[in-house]
Amino acid sequence: MVDTNLLAERVRAELTGRKLIWNIIWYGTHFFLFGYGWYSQQTNDRLAALNGLRYSVWTSRGAGLVLAFDGALILVPMLRNILKLVRPRLMWLFPADENIWFHRQVAYQMVFWTMVHCTAHYVNFINVERTQVRKETAWEIHYAQAGGFTGHV
């Protein structure tokens, strides 16, 4: 059983002052990057055939862009020498003193966006077979090609 007072206390602590601003910026950046990835895929004329698959391709591109961003950030909080240099200058931008907490926040985002990205790719495989953009079955894409096979590993 969850203690509601403890939960309410925790929510109040996380959504006040500096942490509230941090969460708005953090999640806002992720949603902005997702939207930008979606839009850039959708409006790219060179990828017109791929864009025929519509939402699944746009979703996988947006989530992939967010994953690239998080992949660049995941190790930053663990680099102690870099933190020593960055802390005085950028303390207003991110919680440098809470480096393990920040590392976990990046990891949680990576888990979520990986699920979105992979799910969109599985839908892509099915849509490729359905629309015959390439004359292959979803099974062949999944297991007979390097991109599909390595996605399972």
Matching residue, tokens 């519509």: 54
This prediction has a pTM of: 0.78
Q: Give the chain's domain count.
A: 1
Per residue in 26-82, pLDDT (tens digit) is 999 999 999 999 999 889 888 887 777 889 889 999 999 999 999 999 988 788 887
Predicted confidence (pLDDT) per residue in 75-121, tens digit: 887 888 877 887 777 777 666 677 788 888 899 999 999 999 989 98
Tell whether 10 is covered by a domain.
no
13 is a domain residue: no
Q: Is residue 53 part of a domain?
A: yes
Return phi, psi of residue 101, to 5°: -60, -45
Query: Is residue 110 in some structural domain?
Result: yes
> Are 101 and 18 a contacting pair, CB within 8 Å?
no
- Residue 106: closest CA among 12, 35, 27, 37: 27
Structural domain includes residue 4: no
The boundaries of the domain holding residue 137 are 18-152
Using pLDDT thresholds of 50, 70 and 90, give the confidence band for residue 14. Answer: confident
